[in-house]
Structure 1
Amino acid sequence: MRTRTAFLVLLTAGVVGTAAWLVFFSPVLGVRSVEIVGNLTVPTERIKQQAGVEELHPLATVDLADVQSRVMLIRQLASAKVDRVWPGTLKIEVVEREAVAAVIAGGKAALIDGQGVVIEIKDVAPARLPVLKVDRPGAGDPATMAALKVIGNLPPALTGRVRAVQATSPEGVSLRLTDGRTIVWGGTDRGADKARILASLLTRKADVYDVSSPDVVTLK
Protein backbone atom coordinates (compact mmCIF):
# COMPACT_ATOMS: atom_id res chain seq x y z
CA MET A 1 0.00 0.00 0.00
CA ARG A 2 2.82 2.36 0.89
CA THR A 3 4.55 1.53 -2.39
CA ARG A 4 1.38 2.31 -4.33
CA THR A 5 0.91 5.63 -2.48
CA ALA A 6 4.50 6.64 -3.15
CA PHE A 7 4.07 5.75 -6.80
CA LEU A 8 0.94 7.91 -7.09
CA VAL A 9 2.71 10.83 -5.40
CA LEU A 10 5.61 10.56 -7.80
CA LEU A 11 3.26 10.23 -10.75
CA THR A 12 1.29 13.30 -9.67
CA ALA A 13 4.46 15.28 -9.14
CA GLY A 14 5.66 14.26 -12.57
CA VAL A 15 2.43 15.34 -14.22
CA VAL A 16 2.43 18.67 -12.41
CA GLY A 17 6.07 19.22 -13.23
CA THR A 18 5.51 18.43 -16.89
CA ALA A 19 2.51 20.75 -17.04
CA ALA A 20 4.49 23.53 -15.40
CA TRP A 21 7.35 23.03 -17.84
CA LEU A 22 4.94 23.12 -20.80
CA VAL A 23 3.30 26.34 -19.58
CA PHE A 24 6.22 28.33 -18.19
CA PHE A 25 9.35 27.12 -19.96
CA SER A 26 8.66 25.32 -23.23
CA PRO A 27 7.75 26.84 -26.62
CA VAL A 28 4.74 24.53 -26.87
CA LEU A 29 2.52 27.25 -25.38
CA GLY A 30 4.72 30.04 -26.64
CA VAL A 31 3.76 33.22 -28.50
CA ARG A 32 2.96 32.24 -32.05
CA SER A 33 1.16 35.40 -33.08
CA VAL A 34 0.75 39.00 -31.94
CA GLU A 35 -2.68 40.43 -32.73
CA ILE A 36 -2.99 44.21 -33.01
CA VAL A 37 -6.48 45.72 -32.70
CA GLY A 38 -7.65 49.33 -32.98
CA ASN A 39 -4.85 50.90 -35.02
CA LEU A 40 -5.86 53.01 -38.00
CA THR A 41 -2.77 55.04 -38.90
CA VAL A 42 0.03 53.46 -36.88
CA PRO A 43 1.36 50.44 -38.84
CA THR A 44 0.75 47.04 -37.27
CA GLU A 45 4.37 46.02 -37.77
CA ARG A 46 5.58 49.09 -35.92
CA ILE A 47 3.47 48.19 -32.87
CA LYS A 48 4.65 44.57 -32.99
CA GLN A 49 8.26 45.68 -33.18
CA GLN A 50 7.81 48.09 -30.29
CA ALA A 51 6.16 45.34 -28.21
CA GLY A 52 9.42 43.41 -28.46
CA VAL A 53 8.05 39.92 -27.76
CA GLU A 54 10.08 37.08 -29.24
CA GLU A 55 8.31 34.35 -31.16
CA LEU A 56 7.68 31.20 -29.07
CA HIS A 57 8.45 33.01 -25.82
CA PRO A 58 6.28 31.24 -23.20
CA LEU A 59 2.98 33.11 -23.24
CA ALA A 60 2.51 32.66 -19.49
CA THR A 61 5.72 34.53 -18.66
CA VAL A 62 5.21 37.54 -20.94
CA ASP A 63 5.28 40.65 -18.74
CA LEU A 64 2.11 42.37 -19.91
CA ALA A 65 2.91 45.61 -18.10
CA ASP A 66 6.33 45.83 -19.74
CA VAL A 67 4.85 45.23 -23.17
CA GLN A 68 2.26 47.92 -22.54
CA SER A 69 4.96 50.39 -21.44
CA ARG A 70 7.03 49.75 -24.56
CA VAL A 71 4.05 50.12 -26.87
CA MET A 72 3.03 53.38 -25.19
CA LEU A 73 6.35 54.91 -26.24
CA ILE A 74 4.66 55.37 -29.62
CA ARG A 75 3.40 58.92 -29.16
CA GLN A 76 0.50 58.47 -31.57
CA LEU A 77 -1.15 56.08 -29.12
CA ALA A 78 -3.43 57.24 -26.31
CA SER A 79 -3.74 53.83 -24.63
CA ALA A 80 -2.78 50.17 -25.00
CA LYS A 81 -4.18 47.03 -23.39
CA VAL A 82 -2.27 43.75 -23.53
CA ASP A 83 -3.87 40.33 -22.95
CA ARG A 84 -3.02 36.66 -23.34
CA VAL A 85 -5.25 34.64 -25.65
CA TRP A 86 -4.50 30.95 -25.21
CA PRO A 87 -2.94 28.87 -26.54
CA GLY A 88 -0.45 31.18 -28.30
CA THR A 89 -1.65 34.70 -29.07
CA LEU A 90 -0.68 37.99 -27.49
CA LYS A 91 -3.42 40.55 -28.13
CA ILE A 92 -2.63 44.27 -28.04
CA GLU A 93 -5.62 46.61 -28.25
CA VAL A 94 -4.71 50.24 -28.86
CA VAL A 95 -6.49 53.57 -29.09
CA GLU A 96 -4.83 56.19 -31.25
CA ARG A 97 -4.61 59.85 -30.41
CA GLU A 98 -6.70 62.10 -32.65
CA ALA A 99 -5.35 65.44 -33.79
CA VAL A 100 -7.76 68.30 -33.06
CA ALA A 101 -5.58 71.34 -33.81
CA ALA A 102 -2.29 72.45 -35.32
CA VAL A 103 0.34 74.72 -33.81
CA ILE A 104 2.57 76.55 -36.28
CA ALA A 105 6.19 76.99 -35.16
CA GLY A 106 9.45 77.19 -37.03
CA GLY A 107 7.75 76.82 -40.37
CA LYS A 108 6.27 73.46 -39.35
CA ALA A 109 2.86 72.34 -38.11
CA ALA A 110 2.72 70.37 -34.87
CA LEU A 111 -0.49 68.34 -34.71
CA ILE A 112 -1.82 68.01 -31.16
CA ASP A 113 -4.63 66.06 -29.54
CA GLY A 114 -7.17 67.18 -26.97
CA GLN A 115 -4.66 66.73 -24.14
CA GLY A 116 -2.06 68.94 -25.79
CA VAL A 117 0.20 66.03 -26.78
CA VAL A 118 2.12 66.48 -30.03
CA ILE A 119 1.24 63.56 -32.28
CA GLU A 120 3.36 64.39 -35.30
CA ILE A 121 5.06 67.20 -37.17
CA LYS A 122 4.06 68.11 -40.72
CA ASP A 123 5.30 70.66 -43.23
CA VAL A 124 1.78 72.02 -43.70
CA ALA A 125 -1.19 71.94 -41.36
CA PRO A 126 -4.10 69.83 -42.68
CA ALA A 127 -6.96 72.04 -43.89
CA ARG A 128 -9.42 70.16 -41.67
CA LEU A 129 -7.67 71.25 -38.46
CA PRO A 130 -7.95 74.70 -36.87
CA VAL A 131 -4.72 76.52 -36.14
CA LEU A 132 -4.22 77.04 -32.41
CA LYS A 133 -2.79 80.43 -31.42
CA VAL A 134 -1.56 80.73 -27.84
CA ASP A 135 1.50 82.30 -26.23
CA ARG A 136 2.84 79.10 -24.63
CA PRO A 137 1.39 76.05 -26.37
CA GLY A 138 1.66 72.89 -24.32
CA ALA A 139 -0.18 70.43 -22.10
CA GLY A 140 0.70 72.44 -18.98
CA ASP A 141 -0.57 75.78 -20.28
CA PRO A 142 -4.05 76.75 -18.99
CA ALA A 143 -4.88 78.82 -22.08
CA THR A 144 -3.92 75.92 -24.37
CA MET A 145 -6.04 73.45 -22.44
CA ALA A 146 -9.03 75.81 -22.39
CA ALA A 147 -8.82 76.27 -26.16
CA LEU A 148 -8.55 72.52 -26.72
CA LYS A 149 -11.55 71.89 -24.48
CA VAL A 150 -13.59 74.40 -26.47
CA ILE A 151 -12.55 72.73 -29.73
CA GLY A 152 -13.48 69.31 -28.37
CA ASN A 153 -16.95 70.48 -27.33
CA LEU A 154 -17.86 72.24 -30.57
CA PRO A 155 -20.82 70.72 -32.43
CA PRO A 156 -19.92 68.91 -35.68
CA ALA A 157 -21.76 71.52 -37.76
CA LEU A 158 -19.39 74.21 -36.46
CA THR A 159 -16.12 72.28 -36.19
CA GLY A 160 -15.46 72.21 -39.92
CA ARG A 161 -16.00 75.98 -40.20
CA VAL A 162 -13.32 76.98 -37.68
CA ARG A 163 -10.05 78.14 -39.24
CA ALA A 164 -8.23 79.27 -36.09
CA VAL A 165 -8.66 79.27 -32.33
CA GLN A 166 -6.95 81.90 -30.21
CA ALA A 167 -6.67 81.94 -26.42
CA THR A 168 -5.13 84.89 -24.60
CA SER A 169 -6.13 83.28 -21.29
CA PRO A 170 -8.37 80.42 -20.09
CA GLU A 171 -11.29 82.87 -20.20
CA GLY A 172 -10.29 84.51 -23.47
CA VAL A 173 -10.96 81.95 -26.18
CA SER A 174 -12.09 83.15 -29.61
CA LEU A 175 -12.76 81.40 -32.91
CA ARG A 176 -12.01 82.56 -36.43
CA LEU A 177 -14.30 81.05 -39.06
CA THR A 178 -13.33 80.16 -42.61
CA ASP A 179 -15.45 83.07 -43.91
CA GLY A 180 -13.53 85.57 -41.75
CA ARG A 181 -16.09 86.06 -39.01
CA THR A 182 -14.98 86.01 -35.36
CA ILE A 183 -16.68 84.34 -32.41
CA VAL A 184 -15.80 85.55 -28.92
CA TRP A 185 -16.30 82.36 -26.93
CA GLY A 186 -14.87 83.31 -23.55
CA GLY A 187 -14.21 80.46 -21.09
CA THR A 188 -15.06 76.78 -21.22
CA ASP A 189 -18.24 77.15 -19.16
CA ARG A 190 -21.73 76.70 -20.65
CA GLY A 191 -20.40 75.35 -23.92
CA ALA A 192 -23.69 73.73 -24.93
CA ASP A 193 -25.61 77.00 -24.37
CA LYS A 194 -23.07 78.98 -26.40
CA ALA A 195 -23.20 76.50 -29.29
CA ARG A 196 -27.00 76.49 -29.31
CA ILE A 197 -27.26 80.28 -29.33
CA LEU A 198 -24.53 80.61 -31.91
CA ALA A 199 -26.33 78.29 -34.33
CA SER A 200 -29.11 80.84 -34.69
CA LEU A 201 -26.87 83.92 -34.50
CA LEU A 202 -24.74 82.86 -37.46
CA THR A 203 -27.75 83.27 -39.76
CA ARG A 204 -27.53 87.00 -39.04
CA LYS A 205 -24.94 89.15 -40.77
CA ALA A 206 -22.14 90.43 -38.53
CA ASP A 207 -18.36 90.42 -38.21
CA VAL A 208 -18.12 89.54 -34.52
CA TYR A 209 -20.42 87.32 -32.45
CA ASP A 210 -19.85 87.53 -28.71
CA VAL A 211 -21.34 84.58 -26.82
CA SER A 212 -18.93 84.71 -23.89
CA SER A 213 -21.94 85.48 -21.69
CA PRO A 214 -24.79 83.42 -23.18
CA ASP A 215 -27.41 85.47 -21.32
CA VAL A 216 -26.26 88.72 -22.99
CA VAL A 217 -24.92 88.15 -26.52
CA THR A 218 -23.73 90.92 -28.83
CA LEU A 219 -23.13 91.27 -32.55
CA LYS A 220 -20.86 93.80 -34.23
Structure 2
Amino acid sequence: MAGPTTAERGARQQESSGPPLVRRLRRPRLRTIIILAIVLILLGTGVGWLLYGSQWTRVERVTVSGTRVLTSAQVREAADVPVGSPLISVDTDGIEARLRRKLPRIDAVQVVRSWPHGIGLKVTERTPVLLVEKGTKFVEVDDEGVRFATVSEAPKGVPLLELTVSRTGSAAPSHRRFGESRLVREAVRVAGAVPAAVAGQTRVVKVRSYDDISLELSGGRTVAWGSSEKGRAKARTLTALMKAAPGARHFDVSVPTAPASSGS
Protein backbone atom coordinates (compact mmCIF):
# COMPACT_ATOMS: atom_id res chain seq x y z
CA MET A 1 0.00 0.00 0.00
CA ALA A 2 1.44 3.40 -1.01
CA GLY A 3 2.31 5.98 1.70
CA PRO A 4 1.10 9.61 1.87
CA THR A 5 2.08 11.84 -0.94
CA THR A 6 4.40 14.82 -0.51
CA ALA A 7 1.45 17.24 -0.65
CA GLU A 8 -0.39 15.34 2.07
CA ARG A 9 2.69 15.28 4.32
CA GLY A 10 3.10 19.07 3.85
CA ALA A 11 -0.51 19.73 4.72
CA ARG A 12 -0.32 17.60 7.88
CA GLN A 13 2.88 19.32 8.93
CA GLN A 14 1.29 22.74 8.45
CA GLU A 15 -1.78 21.76 10.47
CA SER A 16 0.34 20.45 13.35
CA SER A 17 2.58 23.51 13.46
CA GLY A 18 -0.05 26.28 12.76
CA PRO A 19 -2.01 26.70 15.99
CA PRO A 20 0.99 26.99 18.38
CA LEU A 21 2.54 29.66 16.15
CA VAL A 22 -0.66 31.71 16.18
CA ARG A 23 -0.86 31.39 19.95
CA ARG A 24 2.74 32.53 20.31
CA LEU A 25 2.01 35.63 18.18
CA ARG A 26 -1.25 36.51 19.90
CA ARG A 27 0.01 36.41 23.47
CA PRO A 28 2.58 39.26 23.14
CA ARG A 29 0.07 41.39 21.24
CA LEU A 30 -2.59 40.87 23.87
CA ARG A 31 -0.16 41.73 26.66
CA THR A 32 0.91 44.89 24.81
CA ILE A 33 -2.68 46.02 24.33
CA ILE A 34 -3.49 45.44 28.00
CA ILE A 35 -0.39 47.35 29.13
CA LEU A 36 -1.15 50.26 26.79
CA ALA A 37 -4.74 50.39 27.99
CA ILE A 38 -3.61 50.53 31.63
CA VAL A 39 -1.09 53.26 30.84
CA LEU A 40 -3.71 55.34 29.02
CA ILE A 41 -6.17 54.95 31.88
CA LEU A 42 -3.53 56.04 34.38
CA LEU A 43 -2.52 59.00 32.23
CA GLY A 44 -6.14 60.06 31.75
CA THR A 45 -6.80 59.80 35.47
CA GLY A 46 -3.64 61.78 36.25
CA VAL A 47 -4.42 64.52 33.74
CA GLY A 48 -8.01 64.76 34.96
CA TRP A 49 -6.85 65.08 38.57
CA LEU A 50 -4.24 67.68 37.56
CA LEU A 51 -6.79 69.82 35.71
CA TYR A 52 -9.79 69.45 38.02
CA GLY A 53 -8.62 68.25 41.41
CA SER A 54 -5.15 69.69 41.86
CA GLN A 55 -4.38 73.02 43.52
CA TRP A 56 -1.69 73.61 40.91
CA THR A 57 -4.10 74.68 38.14
CA ARG A 58 -6.67 76.82 39.91
CA VAL A 59 -7.49 80.49 39.26
CA GLU A 60 -5.47 82.74 41.54
CA ARG A 61 -5.28 86.03 39.64
CA VAL A 62 -7.23 88.05 37.05
CA THR A 63 -5.36 90.60 34.92
CA VAL A 64 -6.95 93.39 32.87
CA SER A 65 -5.47 95.24 29.91
CA GLY A 66 -6.64 97.72 27.28
CA THR A 67 -8.85 99.95 29.47
CA ARG A 68 -8.92 103.72 28.95
CA VAL A 69 -12.02 105.08 30.72
CA LEU A 70 -12.97 101.97 32.65
CA THR A 71 -10.85 100.88 35.60
CA SER A 72 -9.39 97.43 36.09
CA ALA A 73 -11.47 97.07 39.25
CA GLN A 74 -14.69 97.74 37.31
CA VAL A 75 -13.81 95.12 34.73
CA ARG A 76 -12.88 92.50 37.35
CA GLU A 77 -16.09 93.09 39.26
CA ALA A 78 -18.26 92.80 36.14
CA ALA A 79 -16.38 89.72 34.91
CA ASP A 80 -16.98 87.89 38.20
CA VAL A 81 -14.27 85.31 37.50
CA PRO A 82 -14.61 82.35 39.93
CA VAL A 83 -11.25 82.63 41.73
CA GLY A 84 -10.24 79.32 43.26
CA SER A 85 -12.01 77.22 40.61
CA PRO A 86 -10.13 74.86 38.29
CA LEU A 87 -8.76 76.95 35.42
CA ILE A 88 -9.98 74.43 32.85
CA SER A 89 -13.60 74.76 34.01
CA VAL A 90 -13.83 78.57 33.73
CA ASP A 91 -16.61 79.57 31.32
CA THR A 92 -14.79 82.12 29.14
CA ASP A 93 -17.82 82.70 26.91
CA GLY A 94 -19.94 83.41 29.98
CA ILE A 95 -17.40 85.95 31.26
CA GLU A 96 -17.36 87.71 27.89
CA ALA A 97 -21.17 87.86 27.81
CA ARG A 98 -21.29 89.31 31.34
CA LEU A 99 -18.76 92.01 30.49
CA ARG A 100 -20.65 93.07 27.38
CA ARG A 101 -23.95 93.12 29.27
CA LYS A 102 -22.76 94.96 32.38
CA LEU A 103 -20.29 97.33 30.69
CA PRO A 104 -21.70 98.59 27.36
CA ARG A 105 -18.56 100.71 26.93
CA ILE A 106 -16.74 97.49 26.05
CA ASP A 107 -16.70 96.94 22.30
CA ALA A 108 -14.69 93.68 22.32
CA VAL A 109 -13.07 91.48 24.94
CA GLN A 110 -10.84 88.43 24.90
CA VAL A 111 -10.88 86.07 27.88
CA VAL A 112 -7.64 84.09 27.91
CA ARG A 113 -6.47 81.29 30.19
CA SER A 114 -2.93 81.94 31.40
CA TRP A 115 -1.66 78.64 32.75
CA PRO A 116 -1.36 77.58 35.44
CA HIS A 117 -3.13 80.20 37.61
CA GLY A 118 -4.37 83.20 35.60
CA ILE A 119 -7.24 84.62 33.58
CA GLY A 120 -6.47 87.54 31.28
CA LEU A 121 -9.13 90.04 30.18
CA LYS A 122 -8.09 92.00 27.07
CA VAL A 123 -10.57 94.85 26.65
CA THR A 124 -11.27 97.16 23.71
CA GLU A 125 -13.44 100.13 24.64
CA ARG A 126 -15.83 101.95 22.33
CA THR A 127 -14.69 105.40 21.19
CA PRO A 128 -17.25 108.22 21.04
CA VAL A 129 -17.55 110.04 17.71
CA LEU A 130 -20.69 112.02 18.59
CA LEU A 131 -22.48 113.19 21.74
CA VAL A 132 -26.20 113.53 22.36
CA GLU A 133 -27.08 116.12 24.99
CA LYS A 134 -29.43 114.73 27.64
CA GLY A 135 -30.29 117.31 30.26
CA THR A 136 -27.04 118.22 31.96
CA LYS A 137 -25.31 115.05 30.77
CA PHE A 138 -24.10 113.60 27.49
CA VAL A 139 -24.74 110.26 25.80
CA GLU A 140 -21.73 108.91 23.91
CA VAL A 141 -22.29 107.44 20.43
CA ASP A 142 -19.68 105.23 18.75
CA ASP A 143 -18.80 104.76 15.07
CA GLU A 144 -21.58 102.17 14.68
CA GLY A 145 -24.26 104.50 16.02
CA VAL A 146 -24.43 102.68 19.37
CA ARG A 147 -25.28 104.83 22.38
CA PHE A 148 -23.13 103.18 24.97
CA ALA A 149 -22.56 105.48 27.95
CA THR A 150 -23.83 108.59 29.72
CA VAL A 151 -21.21 110.97 31.12
CA SER A 152 -21.35 114.16 33.13
CA GLU A 153 -18.65 115.96 31.14
CA ALA A 154 -18.35 116.07 27.36
CA PRO A 155 -15.12 114.46 26.11
CA LYS A 156 -12.89 116.99 24.37
CA GLY A 157 -12.94 117.02 20.58
CA VAL A 158 -16.21 115.10 20.22
CA PRO A 159 -18.98 117.09 18.46
CA LEU A 160 -22.60 117.25 19.55
CA LEU A 161 -25.31 115.58 17.49
CA GLU A 162 -28.48 117.59 16.96
CA LEU A 163 -31.49 115.81 15.47
CA THR A 164 -33.94 118.46 14.34
CA VAL A 165 -36.07 116.20 12.16
CA SER A 166 -39.70 117.24 12.00
CA ARG A 167 -42.41 114.61 12.07
CA THR A 168 -44.61 116.85 9.96
CA GLY A 169 -44.11 118.89 6.81
CA SER A 170 -41.45 118.22 4.18
CA ALA A 171 -39.14 116.37 6.60
CA ALA A 172 -41.79 113.89 7.67
CA PRO A 173 -41.18 111.38 4.83
CA SER A 174 -37.49 111.21 5.76
CA HIS A 175 -38.31 110.49 9.40
CA ARG A 176 -40.90 107.84 8.52
CA ARG A 177 -38.63 106.13 5.99
CA PHE A 178 -35.34 106.08 7.89
CA GLY A 179 -36.17 106.45 11.57
CA GLU A 180 -34.05 108.09 14.24
CA SER A 181 -31.52 105.25 14.61
CA ARG A 182 -30.82 105.29 10.87
CA LEU A 183 -30.37 109.07 10.88
CA VAL A 184 -27.95 108.76 13.78
CA ARG A 185 -25.88 106.26 11.78
CA GLU A 186 -25.88 108.66 8.82
CA ALA A 187 -24.58 111.42 11.11
CA VAL A 188 -21.88 109.04 12.34
CA ARG A 189 -20.83 108.36 8.74
CA VAL A 190 -20.55 112.09 8.08
CA ALA A 191 -18.51 112.64 11.25
CA GLY A 192 -16.15 109.86 10.16
CA ALA A 193 -15.70 111.36 6.69
CA VAL A 194 -14.89 114.92 7.81
CA PRO A 195 -11.22 115.78 7.11
CA ALA A 196 -8.98 115.57 10.17
CA ALA A 197 -8.16 119.29 10.03
CA VAL A 198 -11.87 120.14 10.06
CA ALA A 199 -12.89 117.47 12.57
CA GLY A 200 -11.00 119.26 15.31
CA GLN A 201 -13.02 122.41 14.59
CA THR A 202 -16.42 120.69 14.36
CA ARG A 203 -18.71 121.55 17.25
CA VAL A 204 -22.08 120.23 16.06
CA VAL A 205 -23.37 117.74 13.48
CA LYS A 206 -26.93 118.76 12.69
CA VAL A 207 -29.40 116.39 11.01
CA ARG A 208 -32.61 117.77 9.52
CA SER A 209 -33.25 114.86 7.16
CA TYR A 210 -31.40 112.02 5.43
CA ASP A 211 -29.97 114.35 2.77
CA ASP A 212 -29.75 117.53 4.86
CA ILE A 213 -26.84 117.14 7.27
CA SER A 214 -24.65 120.10 8.15
CA LEU A 215 -21.68 120.94 10.35
CA GLU A 216 -21.23 123.85 12.72
CA LEU A 217 -17.57 124.76 13.10
CA SER A 218 -15.75 126.99 15.54
CA GLY A 219 -15.90 130.69 14.72
CA GLY A 220 -19.53 130.50 13.59
CA ARG A 221 -18.71 128.78 10.29
CA THR A 222 -21.03 126.20 8.75
CA VAL A 223 -20.75 123.41 6.19
CA ALA A 224 -23.71 122.09 4.19
CA TRP A 225 -22.78 118.43 3.74
CA GLY A 226 -26.00 116.94 2.40
CA SER A 227 -26.31 113.16 2.72
CA SER A 228 -23.56 110.83 3.93
CA GLU A 229 -22.97 109.59 0.38
CA LYS A 230 -19.71 110.45 -1.46
CA GLY A 231 -18.04 111.28 1.85
CA ARG A 232 -14.47 111.07 0.55
CA ALA A 233 -15.18 113.32 -2.41
CA LYS A 234 -16.89 115.85 -0.13
CA ALA A 235 -13.95 115.77 2.27
CA ARG A 236 -11.46 116.50 -0.52
CA THR A 237 -13.67 119.25 -1.91
CA LEU A 238 -14.12 120.89 1.52
CA THR A 239 -10.35 120.88 2.14
CA ALA A 240 -9.71 122.56 -1.21
CA LEU A 241 -12.58 125.01 -0.76
CA MET A 242 -11.41 126.14 2.68
CA LYS A 243 -7.90 126.72 1.32
CA ALA A 244 -9.23 128.68 -1.64
CA ALA A 245 -11.57 130.81 0.49
CA PRO A 246 -10.01 131.00 3.98
CA GLY A 247 -12.19 133.94 4.97
CA ALA A 248 -15.50 132.35 4.03
CA ARG A 249 -17.99 131.45 6.73
CA HIS A 250 -20.35 129.17 4.84
CA PHE A 251 -19.34 126.21 2.70
CA ASP A 252 -21.55 123.93 0.62
CA VAL A 253 -20.18 120.55 -0.52
CA SER A 254 -23.53 118.74 -0.76
CA VAL A 255 -22.76 118.39 -4.48
CA PRO A 256 -18.96 117.88 -4.44
CA THR A 257 -18.60 118.62 -8.16
CA ALA A 258 -20.27 122.03 -7.71
CA PRO A 259 -19.12 123.41 -4.34
CA ALA A 260 -19.78 126.92 -3.10
CA SER A 261 -18.65 129.28 -0.36
CA SER A 262 -19.96 132.59 0.89
CA GLY A 263 -19.65 135.16 3.63
CA SER A 264 -16.50 136.70 5.03
The TM-score with structure 1 as length reference comes to 0.88
Instruction: Point out the more displaced range, 119-128 or 101-110.
Output: 119-128
2:212 alignment counterpart: 172
2:147 aligns with one of 106, 118, 121: 118
Count of residue pairs the alignment pairs up: 218
Change (3 A) 1:49 1:27: farther
Greater fraction helix? 2
RMSD of aligned C-alpha atoms?
Answer: 2.4
Q: Runs of 5+ in structure 1 lacking a partner? A: none
2:50 alignment counterpart: 22
Instruction: Point out the more displaced range, 5-14 or 127-136.
Output: 5-14
Instruction: Point out the more displaced range, 124-133 or 9-18.
Output: 9-18
Q: Runs of 5+ in structure 2 lacking a partner? A: 1-26, 166-178
Task: Tell me how far apart the structure 2 counterparts of residues 102 and 83 of structure 1 sit (CA, whole Å).
Answer: 33
Note if 1:144 corresponds to 2:184. yes
Task: Tell me how far apart the structure 2 counterparts of residues 54 and 23 of structure 1 sit (CA, whole Å).
Answer: 15
Task: Tell me how far apart the structure 1 counterparts of residues 152 and 63 of structure 2 sit (CA, whole Å).
Answer: 33
1:155 aligns with one of 186, 195, 200: 195
Task: Tell me how far apart the structure 2 counterparts of residues 119 and 175 of structure 1 sit (CA, whole Å).
Answer: 23
Q: Radius of gyration: which is bigger?
A: 2
Task: Tell me how far apart the structure 1 counterparts of residues 216 and 33 of structure 2 sit (CA, whole Å).
Answer: 85
C-alpha distance after superposition, 1:11-46 (max 9, x if no partner): 542332122121134332111222222112211121
1:109 alignment counterpart: 138
The amino acid of 1:159's aligned partner reads A
2:132 is paired with a residue of what secondary structure?
Answer: strand
Structure 1 segments, 4+ long, off by >4 Å, are 1-12
Note if 1:56 corresponds to 2:84. yes
Change (3 A) 1:123 1:54: closer
> What does 1:183-198 align with in structure 2 at a 5 Å threshold?
183-198=223-238
The amino acid of 2:239's aligned partner reads A
Shift of 1:140: 5.8
Change (3 A) 1:27 1:72: farther
1:92 alignment counterpart: 121
Note if 1:65 corresponds to 2:93. yes
The TM-score with structure 2 as length reference comes to 0.74
2:108 alignment counterpart: 79
